[in-house]
């Protein structure tokens, strides 16, 4: 819940989503995670995307 609040989610919504009975797999595709944990945030955190690397090293024949 604290991490969702840090990402900008209202406290009430963060509480609801942090205490859901649904499994991790179901929550992974949820609206709240799709809007808070974006690819841009992941890039800023240091994650490397295979697609970015492929575009960088791709050789066009």
Render pLDDT for 28-55 as a digit per residue (tens, 0 to 9).
888 888 888 888 999 999 999 998 889 8
C-alpha span between 50 and 54 (Å, rounded): 6
Query: What local confidence, expressed as pLDDT, does residue 11 receive?
Result: 94
Query: What local confidence, expressed as pLDDT, does residue 61 receive?
Result: 64
Average pLDDT, the chain: 86
Token readout for 37 is 């944990």
Mean pLDDT of 15-36: 83
25 vs 61, more confident = 25
């Amino acid at each position: 819940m604290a991490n969702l609040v840090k990402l900008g989610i209202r406290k009430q919504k963060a509480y609801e989503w942090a205490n859901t009975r649904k499994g991790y797999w179901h929550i992974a595709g949820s609206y709240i995670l799709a809007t808070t944990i974006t690819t841009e945030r992941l890039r800023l955190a240091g994650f490397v995307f295979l697609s970015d690397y492929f575009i960088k090293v791709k050789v066009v024949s």
